Amino acid sequence: MADIAQRSLFTWQDVESSPEILRLERVLKVLPDEELLLALEAQRDGRRDDYPLRALWNAVMAGIVFQHPSVASLLRELKRNGELRQMCGFDPLRGGDGVPPDYVFSRFLKRLLDKHDLVENIFDSLVERLCELLPDFGKCTAVDGKALPTWGRKDADADWGVKEYKGTDADGKAWQKVTKWFGYKVHLLVDTTYELPIACHVSKASDNDSPHLLPLIDKTQERHPELLERTEKLAADKGYDSAENKSVLYDDHGITPLIDTRDMSGGAMKPLDDQRHDTIYISGTGEVCCKVNPFDTNPDKKYCAMQFQGFEEDRQTLKFRCPAAAFGVECNNKEACQSRTKDSGFGRVVRVDMNSDRRVHMPCYRHSRKFEDDYKARTAVERVNSRIDHVYGMTRHTVRGLKKMTLRVGIVCIAMLATAVAWVEAGLADNARSLLATAA
């Protein structure tokens, strides 16, 4: 070891803070946590105060911001890092002895569980703050469920979850992938522009995704009515495909559902109107087609997709035009349509009542280019899920129990929102998704 001839005496205020500490400082500064801290202090009133509750709360936030998977990991860093101790509010004169033992942290986390409603208030206050700062926050949204594995088999609240992925590769060959995990699932409603959470809920891993969509919307309606009023679109995968989800979103909230449709027909085409003979058919995913080659055995040649003409809101119908007139497709079934169209060259027009099947028919036609373009925004919720895992350490957590997992996910979302608020208040709204840098 090299000897140092003279050591300097200083506090961390005498040196420039590291970028990581500045990032934590920004997060702590914007947290609307006074109500929670006053409630915790009132509960401790008259008891020993060796370790300030505010310092403990700041340390909990530091553990999330700096991706510590456990309390033990956080305590080791606090004992090593004097700058972090002082930022959290522990007595700098005590050095490492000022860091509380693990049982103190355990008791503090139990108190936070009892005050979970006040922790949720912090989350809601940050969402409201972003609504004030960002006029388009919440305009475009997405929902998804994400696996939260727990690394133990003694968690009585956890169970097994299974997620199945299907698709077709470039060669037309079908593929399937099945993922299993033991633990929980978090259901997230996020803003797709800024990739930030609006509402969340933690359930058992075995829960289906679909029943959790409308409760997230109801929760947002109750706590952030102005945000939901500005919401125009909501994207979700096939796991949320149901007539109730789609109809309630549009009818009760004026939100256009961009929810992928499952094929429940096994790939078969069925008549649009099974009460009469016609050339118009519909696929299991709602694609409206015309039977242009009735005697061809190849479905790709037998049916041709009609041209989508738009959604008629006053009629609640989807309008389509003859593919032969629109695209110049050769039609060998013209005679069947002659009695239902005028000889104007425009071709036959078909209107599909959206209320005939609310699961299949949506205001934004599932097979339109607009749906495909808008649906791409759903990947924003996947990036939020990735940040929860890799930026905030949920892939290496040691949490057990549904209540504790709900608290942990809530604090993770609080850290994410607080970081975004810090960026926006610094005049850098474009960086709201940057979680590992410090606002200027």
Model confidence band, residue 340 (pLDDT cutoffs 50, 70, 90): low
* Whole-angstrom distance, CA of residue 428 vs CA of residue 23: 14
H/E stretch holding 105 reads helix 102-114
Report the candidate in 103, 190, 109, 195 with the shortest Cα–Cα distance to residue 145: 190
| 33 and 109 share one domain | yes
Q: What is the pLDDT of residues 291-317, one digit of tens each?
A: 888 888 887 888 899 999 999 999 999
Q: How confident is the prediction for the chain on average, in pLDDT?
A: 86
Model confidence band, residue 9 (pLDDT cutoffs 50, 70, 90): very low
Q: Which long-range contacts (CB under 8 A, 24 or more apart) does 94-103 make?
A: 98/51, 99/75, 100/50, 100/51, 100/56, 100/75, 101/75, 102/71, 102/72, 102/75
Report the candidate in 88, 51, 50 with the shortest Cα–Cα distance to residue 66: 88
Does some domain include residue 309?
A: yes
Q: What is the pLDDT of residues 342-394, one digit of tens each?
A: 656 778 899 999 999 999 999 999 999 999 999 999 999 999 988 888 877 77
Q: What is the pLDDT of residues 258-267, one digit of tens each?
A: 999 999 888 8
**Residue indicated by tokens 């090593």:** 80
pLDDT of residue 376: 94
pLDDT of residue 2: 43
Contact 410, 399 (CB under 8 A): no
Does some domain include residue 126?
A: no
Structure tokens at 331: 């039609």
SS3 245: helix
Domain assignment of residue 241, given as a range: 135-260+377-411
**pLDDT above 50 for 319:** yes
Does some domain include residue 246?
A: yes
Contact 323, 304 (CB under 8 A): yes
**pLDDT above 60 for 139:** yes
pLDDT of residue 393: 72
**pLDDT above 60 for 7:** no
Listed in sequence order, the residues at least 6 apart from 258 whose beta carbon sits closer than 8 Å to its beta carbon are: 233, 234, 235, 236, 362, 364, 371, 374, 375, 377, 378
Domain boundary among 293, 324, 357: 357
Structure tokens at 93: 């004169």
CA-to-CA separations, 203 to 115, 193, 409, 414, in angstroms, rounded = 19, 26, 11, 19
H/E stretch holding 208 reads none
| 181 and 326 share one domain | no
Model confidence band, residue 98 (pLDDT cutoffs 50, 70, 90): confident
* Whole-angstrom distance, CA of residue 11 vs CA of residue 104: 26
pLDDT of residue 344: 63
| 103 and 149 share one domain | no
% of the chain exceeding 70 in pLDDT: 90
Does some domain include residue 426?
A: no
Q: Which amino acid is at 349?
A: V
Q: What is the pLDDT of residues 406-433, one digit of tens each?
A: 999 999 999 999 999 988 888 776 666 6
| 72 and 177 share one domain | no
Does some domain include residue 368?
A: no
pLDDT of residue 370: 95
% of the chain exceeding 90 in pLDDT: 48
Between 50 and 272, the higher pLDDT residue? 272
Angle between helices 402-425 and 379-390 (to 10 degrees): 110
Does some domain include residue 346?
A: yes
CA-to-CA separations, 2 to 5, 8, 82, in angstroms, rounded = 10, 16, 22
pLDDT of residue 58: 92
Report the candidate in 105, 111, 239 with the shortest Cα–Cα distance to residue 164: 239
Q: What is the 3-state secondary structure (H, E, C) of 325-372?
A: HHHCCCCCCHHHCHHHCCCCCCCCEEEEEHHHCCCCCCCCCCCCHHHH
Between 371 and 400, the higher pLDDT residue? 371
| 247 and 274 share one domain | no
- Show the CA angle centred on residue 252, arms to residues 249 and 257, nearest 5°: 15
| 139 and 256 share one domain | yes
Contact 235, 141 (CB under 8 A): yes
Q: Which residues of 49-63 are buried (b: 16+ CB within 10 A; e: fewer)?
A: eebbbbbbbbbbbbb
For the chain, what is the total number of helices (H) and then of strands (E)?
A: 15, 13
Model confidence band, residue 46 (pLDDT cutoffs 50, 70, 90): low
Q: How many structural domains comprise the chain?
A: 3
Range name among 68-72, 168-172, 331-335 with the lowest pLDDT average: 168-172
Between 41 and 276, the higher pLDDT residue? 41
Q: Is 8 buried (19+), middle (13-18) or exposed (0-12) by CB count in 10 A?
A: exposed
Positive or negative, the CA dihedral 412, 121, 200, 367 is negative
pLDDT of residue 339: 55
**pLDDT above 60 for 36:** yes
| 256 and 143 share one domain | yes
| 96 and 234 share one domain | no
Range name among 17-26, 112-121, 224-233 with the lowest pLDDT average: 17-26
| 167 and 143 share one domain | yes
* Whole-angstrom distance, CA of residue 440 vs CA of residue 437: 9
| 305 and 170 share one domain | no
Q: What is the pLDDT of residues 60-70, one digit of tens each?
A: 999 888 888 78
**pLDDT above 60 for 204:** yes
Instruction: Give the residue-averaged pLDDT of 20-30.
Output: 87
Does some domain include residue 146?
A: yes
| 251 and 279 share one domain | no
DSSP label at residue 66? T
| 340 and 403 share one domain | no
Phi, psi of 128 (to 5 degrees): -65, -40
